[in-house]
Amino acid sequence: MPFSSAFRRFVRGDIAADIVGRPKLWYSISALLVLFSIAGLLIRGLNFGVEFTGGSVFTIKAPNASIEQVRESVDGQTGSESIVQKAGDNWRVTTGELSSNEIALVEQHVSDELGIPDKEISSQQVGSTWGGDVSEKAWQALIVFMILIVIYLSVTFESRMALAAVVALVHDLIITAGIYAWSGFHVTPATLLGFLTILGYSLYDAVVVFDMIKEVTKPLNERSKITYSQAANQALSSTLVRSLNTTLVAILPVASILFIGSTLLGAGTLKDLSLALFVGMIVGTYSSICVATPMLVQLKEREPLYRTLRENIERREASAKRQKKAGAADGEADEDDGPADAQEPPEGAEPASGGTGVAVKVVQAGPRNQPKKGTRGRRRS
């Protein structure tokens, strides 16, 4: 099948993908991603910003200066490496905690090095206590969010769907945090907002898939012709294109902020949020399709109804195979018996001599019929 034709059929939803039937493949991929993310968290760790660790933040209005000039002007006075980000025409420089005198010296040194007036430089002191409060409230929001999600899914759908959705959400958080650690981006309050946003997005995708599965599997009983796994895979295939298109449309503007806004336009303050959204949306779509749904199917297949349904279908398929095999064997036997019957001479037959073939001479058994008396005379006259 040509690639263009297959792609058009896939976009229309005419091609069904066997996703539910390959749980080991998806679980293996997820396990590798989770291990990779945990390694990043253990080896590199999260790079918390000044909002969590505390420090001094300088805002410098020097549109004509380069990032190297700004960093050297600040580091030359503090003696440590600072973090420089560009936000429009301004530079945002983050350092460790400095005293009031040290801040005044840095401002004077930057003004002399860059040739800008003092009023173009502002500073802000951030304490670590504020960052601790933000972290605590973020954890509280995450726990409350998880509890509400479990309650909502348990009431709207069932407990097994709630369990599968929560596992997918934890899966998304670990992978996103791990990639964040490997990238070295600073964790800021915008990052926490991005994490909470991707949880909602991942949950939305899972709810769409679960709702379709619930609708398709509702009529199933012990006499149905398809198993729960097959019905769930049909439901997933019908929503697959929709999920992929929704993710693609949502990722495009986020990718523009991440790659174009932060790289070309220098909007460094947006990359913290955009990276979390970009990674979380991709991983969330993958988990709702390839992690939550196969896990739900495995949990549902253990129920007595669907286990009995699978056993009944397997018995019917095995019986049909036996009948087909028996019919094929009878047909072969009939073909073998036909030539043998044709070669056997009838009862009382004698083989005739001569010729290359086998001739059969039939000998009539019993008394011959003699003509009646007087028949020959009457015929003669």
Residues 354-375: tens digit of each pLDDT: 444 444 444 444 455 555 554 4
pLDDT the model gives residue 158 = 83
Domain match, 172 and 295 both? yes
Is the pLDDT assigned to residue 144 strictly greater than 80? Answer: yes
pLDDT the model gives residue 49 = 75
Tokens standing for residue 139: 């954890």
Domain match, 144 and 242 both? yes
Tell me the average pLDDT across 233-262: 82
Domain match, 233 and 297 both? yes
Looking from the CA of 132 toward its CB, the CA atoms found within 13 Å total 3
Q: Does residue 115 sit within a domain?
A: yes
Please tell me the least confidently modeled range out of 130-134, 225-229, 345-349: 345-349
Q: In the chain, how long is the greatest CA-to-CA distance?
A: 164
Compute CA 41 distance to the chain's CA centroid, rounded to the nearest angstrom: 23
CA dist 180 and 35 (Å) reads 14
CA dist 205 and 280 (Å) reads 12
Q: Band the pLDDT of 64: cuts 50, 70, 90.
A: confident
Q: Does residue 270 sit within a domain?
A: yes
Domain match, 229 and 298 both? yes
Is the pLDDT assigned to residue 267 strictly greater than 70? Answer: no
In degrees, to the nearest 5, what angle opens at C-alpha 315 toward C-alphas 309 and 319? 145
Q: Does residue 225 sit within a domain?
A: yes
Read out DSSP for 153-199? HHHHT-HHHHHHHHHHHHHHHHHHHHHHHHHTPEE-HHHHHHHHHHH
Strands 359-362 and 121-126: unpaired
CA dist 4 and 118 (Å) reads 62
Residues 9-59: tens digit of each pLDDT: 655 555 567 788 888 999 999 999 999 999 999 998 888 877 777 778 888
Q: Between 369 and 161, whose confidence is greater?
A: 161
Q: Does residue 319 sit within a domain?
A: no
Q: Does residue 89 sit within a domain?
A: yes
Domain match, 156 and 305 both? yes
Tokens standing for residue 219: 């009529």
pLDDT the model gives residue 295 = 92
Please tell me the least confidently modeled range out of 8-12, 182-186, 258-262: 8-12
Q: Of 93, 126, 159, at which residue does a domain stop?
A: 126
CA dist 251 and 262 (Å) reads 16
**Which CATH number goes with the domain that contains 197?**
1.20.1640.10
Q: Of 96, 126, 156, at which residue does a domain stop?
A: 126
- Residue labelled with tokens 């999260």: 46
Is the pLDDT assigned to residue 340 strictly greater than 50? Answer: no
Domain match, 154 and 97 both? no
- Per the structure, how many domains does the chain have? 2
Domain match, 182 and 107 both? no
Domain match, 162 and 216 both? yes
Question: Which range marks the domain in which residue 65 is found?
Answer: 55-126
Tell me the average pLDDT across 62-66: 78
pLDDT the model gives residue 11 = 57
Q: Does residue 210 sit within a domain?
A: yes
CA dist 134 and 141 (Å) reads 10
Q: Of 270, 286, 311, at which residue does a domain stop?
A: 311
Cβ contacts of residue 292 below 8 Å, gap of 6+? 164, 165, 167, 168, 206, 209, 210
pLDDT the model gives residue 123 = 82
Amino acid identity for residue 288 in this structure: S
Residues 291-320: tens digit of each pLDDT: 999 999 999 988 888 888 888 888 888 888
Cβ contacts of residue 108 below 8 Å, gap of 6+? 118
Domain match, 94 and 230 both? no
H-assigned helices in the chain: 3-12, 23-43, 50-53, 67-78, 100-114, 128-156, 159-183, 189-217, 228-255, 271-287, 293-300, 304-343, 375-380
Amino acid identity for residue 30 in this structure: S
In degrees, to the nearest 5, what angle opens at C-alpha 236 toward C-alphas 232 and 241? 170
Q: Does residue 155 sit within a domain?
A: yes
Q: What is the mean pLDDT of the chain?
A: 77
pLDDT the model gives residue 9 = 62
Give all strands of the β-sheet with 55-61 in edge-to-edge order: 83-87, 90-95, 55-61, 121-126
Strands 186-187 and 47-48: parallel
Select the highest-mean-pLDDT range: 35-39, 145-149, 242-246, 248-252: 35-39
Domain match, 157 and 253 both? yes
Domain match, 177 and 64 both? no
Domain match, 299 and 219 both? yes
Of 114, 115, 129, 124, which is closest to residue 93 (Cα–Cα)?
124
CA dist 186 and 84 (Å) reads 12
**Which CATH number goes with the domain that contains 72?**
3.30.70.3400
Q: Does residue 318 sit within a domain?
A: no
Please tell me the least confidently modeled range out of 27-31, 117-121, 138-142, 351-355: 351-355
CA dist 141 and 175 (Å) reads 20
Tokens standing for residue 103: 């801040």
- Residue labelled with tokens 């044709």: 342
pLDDT the model gives residue 365 = 47
Q: Is the pTM of this model over 0.75?
A: no
Contact 89, 105 (CB under 8 A): no
Share of the chain above pLDDT 70, in %: 77
